[in-house]
């Protein structure tokens, strides 16, 4: 069948427009009704028996079996989950009931749901595809709908004609400048053809004249957004002139609009989109969505950039799950569309101040529609780079690494509010807390809002406590007597690995202190390792020696510790060399040099106890962090109360530990300021001091 403008026409069934109202009742719906037509008049409910007939003709195992290798298991079929990586099958399909259930993810549904979950199809598209496979005729449209669809079909035809015209112009002599621009951006011929890129001649009515010559009516050209008719009565002219043209396609791959990139430096605007039409609502589409849908579902991830040329460059580099916004602020429709691609899309921004501000503005648009299981992350590029630059200069793997490090929605809220806050007064701190609560208050999902409220309550308290102790921490950092202490509970995993090395070195050098604190040390969680050996395993063997033998000297560990742990023992403590120039424990002394001085036994014991408290405090903070992250959706008030009390304990213990840390640092400074003719090392049992002649002790080297 041919259309009126000699274009090949394939009459698409109007039933492609099936949708869902309130997520439940199926009906036929045009997503963008023409002006003057009430959207409700497009709703034509499908009879339930029709959907049942499709289900009856297509067993769930047949539809699921295209993506999941199924094996018969009694009355059901079993296979590996298509939603999660697993080794033991937990996915079941039941043809009698017409449903599947995935125990690993909790997802459950019928054949329509399966296509929506695995291929990113909308309900209308899933119904249309499966109805075609099942040979079920969908309801015919009303005469009113037929007329509107025919009207829209004419616009599709005209836009397709315009796209072909632009494509052809790119290959003509007039298009050489545009071709050179694309070559300069590294866009290959294959990519140009894939995205149907073209050129709009720098003439007043080149496209308009072409379309009129093909028999297209003036009104249709204007309705398609391809020409502009001045209000002062002058003749109309082409909207796109002297620009590289990129077609904008809908979720079915049909051309609905165009984007034009200026070639002349003084041509404004730099980027120009089609106006909104009966087919094109820029707030309801994302660029490249139809290509990115399947890759995004396979990767369970979608990347969102601002410009369509950025998206094209990334797609060419092999990053296929990329889409671009169309120069608009995020709309609720775009957010829903992105969540159909992946539950946690990553929005990519430039790393400069403008990029950060753009991310901050997006927060308030997304917050009201956040829901459990669906959120956004934010990736920030190095300053001065856009996504195209990042991919071309550093390569796709480097770009993916940036995406992998994307900040969570909460992290960006925190970044915005802490940057804007004035915290030098109690009033400023109150405003800061109020602003955070206002952002969280926008979240309609009650479960998610409760979780954010708890996170905010804990983190704000922690942050303000840190602020009040800034001078204490600064004094600690100024001293060289104690190892640098990393910040605790900053929202990122806490490390303190350097302190672990000092503490374990002291455990070796002072075994009587280990005996006194044996159970406490056994319950601690050590994070570090040496040469592939976890410190946790090393500590377990250290305690084994303590339990089995009367350990009175560090030399006992060198004799009795299991062979695999000897390198770690030497690393945290340090064995005497044959020439005797490096004493026993030289690695410990290099990391904690105050032990080279004549220090009292009490000071050593208090340092050991305080280091142990710091590491134990870290375990409490991890418990708090894990408690927040694993908070059940249906957690009651007692769970939140437990977390609040746990944080209060942490704050109180920090206060005590940091005051003790400062006192020890000041005391250590006094010991180091006293001039000694001989360097002194603490006795292995901490009971007395022995002097080492200066010529026998090599100055300690810095040890990691």
Least confident of 246-250, 484-488, 506-510, 658-662: 484-488
Mean pLDDT, all residues of the chain: 81
SS3 assignment, position 698? coil
Tens of pLDDT along 337-361? 899 888 899 999 887 888 888 889 9
> Given this model, what pLDDT does residue 492 score?
30
Strands annotated E in 503-593: 529-530, 533-534
Average pLDDT value for residue range 382-395: 85
- Residue 682 pLDDT exceeds 60: no
- Binned at pLDDT 50, 70 and 90, residue 226 comes out as very high
Reading the block at residue 196, the tokens are 């149907």
Please say whether the beta carbons of 452 and 440 come within 8 A. Answer: yes
Rounded to the nearest 10°, the torsion over CA 155, 161, 167, 169 is: -120
- Binned at pLDDT 50, 70 and 90, residue 370 comes out as very high
Distance separating alpha carbons of residues 428 and 396, to the nearest angstrom? 43
Query: How far is residue 148 from each of residues 8, 26, 46, 161, 225, measured CA to CA in Å?
Result: 20, 21, 20, 20, 18
Distance separating alpha carbons of residues 557 and 600, to the nearest angstrom? 24
Distance separating alpha carbons of residues 589 and 592, to the nearest angstrom? 5
SS3 assignment, position 381? coil
Reading the block at residue 229, the tokens are 């008719």
Residue 26 β-bridge partners: 20
Distance separating alpha carbons of residues 304 and 290, to the nearest angstrom? 14
Distance separating alpha carbons of residues 476 and 545, to the nearest angstrom? 35
Please say whether the beta carbons of 680 and 596 come within 8 A. Answer: yes
Query: How far is residue 291 from each of residues 130, 191, 195, 213, 320, measured CA to CA in Å?
Result: 21, 13, 10, 33, 8
Reading the block at residue 429, the tokens are 């701190």
Of the chain, the percentage scoring pLDDT greater than 90 comes to: 41
CA neighbor of 162 nearest in space, from 236, 220, 234 = 220
- Binned at pLDDT 50, 70 and 90, residue 695 comes out as very low
Tens of pLDDT along 277-336? 999 998 889 999 999 988 998 888 999 998 899 999 999 999 999 999 887 678 888 998
Range 613-617, long-range pairs (CB < 8 A, 24+ positions): 613/653, 613/656, 613/657, 613/660, 614/485, 614/496, 614/499, 614/657, 614/661, 615/496, 615/499, 615/500, 615/503, 615/524, 615/526, 616/520, 616/524, 617/488, 617/650, 617/653, 617/654, 617/657
155 compared with 656, residue with greater pLDDT: 155
Reading the block at residue 62, the tokens are 């047949």
- The backbone torsions φ and ψ at residue 605, rounded to the nearest 5 degrees and listed phi first, read -65, -40
Distance separating alpha carbons of residues 338 and 326, to the nearest angstrom? 13
Tens of pLDDT along 200-209? 999 999 999 9
Classify residue 292 as exposed, middle or buried by CB count within 10 Å of its CB (0-12, 13-18, 19+).
Answer: buried
Distance separating alpha carbons of residues 227 and 159, to the nearest angstrom? 12
Rounded to the nearest 10°, the torsion over CA 298, 304, 309, 314 is: -40
Reading the block at residue 185, the tokens are 């951006």
245 compared with 682, residue with greater pLDDT: 245
- Residue 5 pLDDT exceeds 90: no
SS3 assignment, position 306? coil
Tens of pLDDT along 597-641? 878 889 899 999 989 988 888 888 888 888 877 777 777 777 777
Please say whether the beta carbons of 273 and 287 come within 8 A. Answer: no
- Residue 425 pLDDT exceeds 90: no
For residue 579, what are the contacts with CB-CB under 8 A and spacing of at least 6?
none
- Residue 545 pLDDT exceeds 80: yes
Between CA 325 and CA 335, with CA 330 as vertex, the angle to 5 degrees is 90
SS3 assignment, position 507? helix
Distance separating alpha carbons of residues 6 and 576, to the nearest angstrom? 93
> Given this model, what pLDDT does residue 61 score?
92
Residue 18 β-bridge partners: 28
Tens of pLDDT along 135-186? 888 777 666 666 656 667 789 999 999 999 999 999 999 999 999 999 999 9
- Residue 584 pLDDT exceeds 70: yes
First to last CA, the chain: 77
Please say whether the beta carbons of 580 and 692 come within 8 A. Answer: no
Average pLDDT value for residue range 65-73: 91
Distance separating alpha carbons of residues 73 and 87, to the nearest angstrom? 17
CA neighbor of 11 nearest in space, from 215, 127, 135, 150 = 150
Q: What is residue 448's DSSP assignment?
A: H
> Given this model, what pLDDT does residue 595 score?
85
Please say whether the beta carbons of 612 and 525 come within 8 A. Answer: no
Q: What is residue 461's DSSP assignment?
A: H
Helix axes 470-478, 446-468, angle to 10 degrees: 60
Please say whether the beta carbons of 255 and 281 come within 8 A. Answer: no
- Residue 88 pLDDT exceeds 60: yes
> Given this model, what pLDDT does residue 578 score?
62
- The backbone torsions φ and ψ at residue 685, rounded to the nearest 5 degrees and listed phi first, read -100, 0
SS3 assignment, position 442? coil
CB atoms under 10 Å from CB of 392, counted, come to 17
Residue 249 β-bridge partners: 255
- Residue 483 pLDDT exceeds 50: no
Query: How far is residue 306 from each of residues 366, 382, 419, 455, measured CA to CA in Å?
Result: 16, 16, 24, 30
Full DSSP string of 317-343: TT--SEEE--SS---HHHHHHHHHH-S
């Amino acid at each position: 069948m041919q259309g009126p403008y000699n274009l090949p026409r394939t009459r698409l069934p109007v039933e492609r427009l099936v949708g869902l109202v309130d997520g439940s009742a199926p009906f036929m719906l045009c997503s963008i009704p023409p002006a003057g037509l009430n959207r409700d008049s497009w709703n034509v409910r499908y009879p339930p028996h029709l959907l049942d007939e499709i289900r009856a003709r297509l067993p769930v195992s047949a539809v699921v079996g295209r993506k999941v290798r199924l094996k018969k298991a009694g009355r059901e079929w079993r296979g590996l989950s298509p939603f999660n990586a697993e080794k033991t099958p937990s996915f079941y399909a039941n043809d009698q009931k017409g449903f599947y259930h995935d125990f690993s993810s909790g997802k459950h549904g019928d054949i329509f749901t399966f296509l929506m979950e695995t291929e990113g199809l909308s309900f209308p598209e899933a119904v249309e595809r499966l109805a075609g496979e099942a040979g079920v005729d969908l309801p015919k449209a009303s005469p009113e709908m037929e007329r509107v669809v025919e009207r829209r079909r004419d616009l599709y035809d005209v836009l397709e004609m315009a796209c072909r015209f632009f494509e052809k112009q790119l290959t003509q002599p007039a298009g050489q400048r545009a071709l050179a621009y694309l070559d300069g951006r590294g866009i290959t011929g294959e990519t140009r053809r894939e995205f149907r890129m073209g050129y709009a001649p720098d003439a007043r009515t080149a496209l308009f004249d072409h379309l009129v010559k093909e028999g297209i009516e003036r009104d249709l050209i204007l309705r398609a957004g391809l020409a502009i008719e001045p209000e002062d009565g002058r003749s109309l002219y082409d909207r796109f002139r002297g620009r590289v043209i990129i077609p904008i396609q809908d979720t079915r791959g049909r051309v609905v609009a165009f984007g034009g990139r200026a070639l002349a430096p003084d041509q404004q605007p730099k980027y120009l989109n089609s106006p909104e039409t009966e087919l094109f609502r820029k707030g309801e589409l994302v660029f490249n969505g139809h290509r990115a849908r399947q890759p995004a579902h396979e990767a369970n991830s979608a990347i969102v950039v601002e410009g369509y040329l950025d998206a094209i460059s990334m797609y060419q580099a092999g990053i296929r799950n990329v889409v671009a916004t169309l120069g608009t602020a995020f709309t609720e429709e775009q957010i829903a569309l992105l969540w159909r691609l992946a539950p946690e899309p990553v929005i990519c921004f430039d790393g400069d101040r403008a990029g950060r501000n753009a991310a901050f503005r997006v927060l308030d648009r997304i917050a009201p529609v956040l829901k459990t299981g669906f959120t956004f992350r934010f990736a920030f590029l190095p300053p001065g780079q856009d996504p195209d630059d990042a991919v071309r200069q550093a390569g796709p793997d480097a770009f993916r690494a940036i995406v992998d490090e994307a900040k969570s929605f909460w992290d960006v809220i925190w970044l915005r509010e802490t940057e804007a806050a004035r915290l030098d007064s109690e009033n400023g701190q109150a405003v800061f807390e109020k602003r955070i609560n206002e952002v969280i208050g926008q979240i309609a999902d009650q479960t998610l809002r409760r979780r954010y409220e708890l996170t905010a309550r804990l983190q704000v308290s922690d942050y303000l406590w840190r602020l009040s102790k800034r001078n204490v921490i600064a004094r600690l950092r100024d001293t060289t007597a104690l190892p640098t202490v990393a910040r605790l509970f900053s929202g990122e995993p806490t490390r303190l690995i350097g302190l672990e090395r000092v503490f374990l070195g002291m455990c070796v050098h002072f075994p009587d202190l280990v005996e006194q604190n044996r159970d406490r040390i056994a319950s601690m969680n050590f994070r570090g390792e040496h040469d592939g050996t976890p410190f946790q395993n090393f500590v377990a063997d250290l305690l084994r020696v303590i339990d089995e033998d009367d350990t009175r000297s560090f030399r006992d560990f060198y004799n009795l510790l299991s062979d695999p742990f000897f390198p770690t023992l030497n690393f945290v403590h340090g064995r005497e060399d044959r020439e005797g120039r490096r004493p026993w424990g030289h690695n410990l002394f290099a990391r904690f040099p105050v032990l080279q001085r004549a220090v009292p036994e009490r000071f050593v014991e208090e340092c050991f106890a305080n280091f142990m408290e710091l590491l134990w405090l870290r375990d409490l903070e991890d418990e708090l962090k894990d408690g927040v992250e694993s908070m059940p959706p249906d957690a009651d008030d007692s769970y939140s109360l437990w977390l609040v009390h746990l944080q209060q304990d942490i704050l109180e213990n920090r206060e005590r530990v940091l005051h003790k840390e400062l006192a020890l640092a000041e005391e250590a400074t006094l010991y180091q300021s006293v001039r000694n003719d001989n360097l002194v090392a603490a006795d292995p049992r901490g009971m007395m001091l022995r002097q080492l002649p200066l010529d026998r002790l090599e100055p300690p080297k810095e040890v990691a």
